[in-house]
Amino acid sequence: MTEGKKAILYLEDGTVYKGSGFGYDGEKAGEVVFNTALCGYEEILTDPSYAGQIVVMCYPHIGNYGINHRDAESYRIWVEGFIVKENSKVYSNYRAKSSLSDYMRKSRVAGLEGIDTRALVRKLRDKGSMKGIISTRDFNTASLKKKLGRHPSIVGVDLVDHVSSTGESVSSRYRPSAGKKKTVAVIDFGTKLNIIRHIKEQKAGVKVFPYGTTLRDLLKSGIKGVVLSNGPGDPAAVTRGIDLARELIEYNKRNYLPVLGICLGHQLLALAGGCSTYKLKFGHHGGNHPVKNVLTGRIEITVQNHNFCVDPRTITRDFNVTHVNLNDNTIEGIKHKRYPVISYQFHPEAGPGPHDSVYVFREFMEMISAKKK
């Protein structure tokens, strides 16, 4: 057990935070980001979009309802490290199967508690996200600085290769629902299980395809629509995903195949359509981000988890902007002017978070049904 053991966080700007460790006894490095959600730590830990990152929770008391495994968004933890003000030593929930600390220890994920998380979040907000290393073994700052210097940035790195299921593992990780007239392909760039659940709730079949799938592969399977999923890291480095998005746009010039992009999938569609992306100062991570639908004027409280965004200065004539973030006016949704292609930067599937945007899946299925016979 690591609880109570001395632990340290060293940031690349030289700042040190000393506290106690929990979870895995060792060292883990990654980009340090903060999440503003009040609960849902199991979903956050298991979201593949967090690959390569150390997550700081703004809410001070974490772990009080344990881990139940039913709320997981994938088959494993993806965060490199987890930082909280207080890790609850006692958990209470009728569904709980283990403590947060035990779950992290078995998954070899390092945790840090007992530091001033408000001060850390303020630093990240003011200076931007930065690399950091958690250690329960090495407390020499010169040594930690060298280790962190060898750790790569997430910029320019294709992290999807790390999280996507392979051809052999797709069926074991995600249960296909065949036999449906309307079967949707989900391209696994690091998909959350809730995306699949919401598609199935629309009475559609689902087939999950690994990263590297081509348009030819999809067309042979007889699918009626394509979802480009969420995923981690720099979208510009996900070249095979951009290639597929470009193929899908081109295919719709003479055919009809609705496409929905979510988070990373949204960025890939924008890049394929001639737009550019850029890295945000500290990213958007949490379950309380206000977004305005510019078509209806409706305000949605959304779930967000991304470090990169579509540059509004590069939106081409082919797209209309449909949603904007009310905190910083960043682009949250685009729609192709001629083809059945829509995409959203926020997470309509939530998990954790509000359900204001689940209508996206209904509208996507209506696009599929709109195909002329």
Same domain, 125 and 210: no
Q: Tell which of 80, 115, 150 closes a domain.
A: 150
The pLDDT-based confidence of 48 (bands split at 50, 70, 90) is: very high
Same structural domain for residues 89 and 168? no
Residues 230 and 307 in one domain: yes
Residues 233-243 have a mean pLDDT of 97
Is residue 43 in some structural domain?
A: yes
Does residue 155 lie in a domain region? no
CB 34 within 8 A of CB 121: yes
Domain harbouring 35, CATH code: 3.50.30.20
Angle at CA of residue 249, ends 198 and 253, nearest 5°? 120
Which residues pair with residue 267 across a beta bridge? Answer: none
347 is catalytic: yes
Can you tell me the distance from the alpha carbon of 328 to that of 1, in angstroms, rounded to the nearest whole number? 42
58 classed as catalytic: no
pLDDT band at 181, cuts 50/70/90? confident
Q: Which position has the higher pLDDT, 17 or 171?
A: 17
Nearest to 46 by CA among 267, 196, 194: 194
Say yes or no to pLDDT of 3 above 90. Answer: no
Angle between helices 239-251 and 264-272 (to 10 degrees): 60
Are 281 and 297 in contact, with CB atoms under 8 Å apart? no
Identify whether residues 133 and 200 lie together within a single domain: no
Residue 250 appears among annotated catalytic residues: no
pLDDT of residue 169: 55
Can you give the pLDDT at residue 159? 96
Tell me the angle at which helices 193-201 and 359-369 cross, rounded to the nearest 10 degrees.
Answer: 60
Q: Are 136 and 169 contained in the same domain?
A: no
Q: Which residues of 194-223 are buried (b: 16+ CB within 10 A; e: fewer)?
A: bbbebbbebebbbbbbbbbbebeebeeeeb
Q: Is the pLDDT of residue 180 over 80?
A: no
Lowest-confidence region among 168-172, 177-181, 306-310, 353-357: 168-172
Give yes or no: residues 199 and 98 share one domain: no
pLDDT band with cut points at 50, 70 and 90 for residue 179? low
Same domain, 258 and 280: yes
Q: How confident is the model at residue 296 (pLDDT cuts 50, 70, 90)?
A: very high
The one catalytic residue among 198, 263, 284, 323: 263
For the chain, give the percent of residues with pLDDT over 90: 92
* Domain carrying residue 178: 160-369
Q: 174 falls in which pLDDT band (50, 70, 90)?
A: low
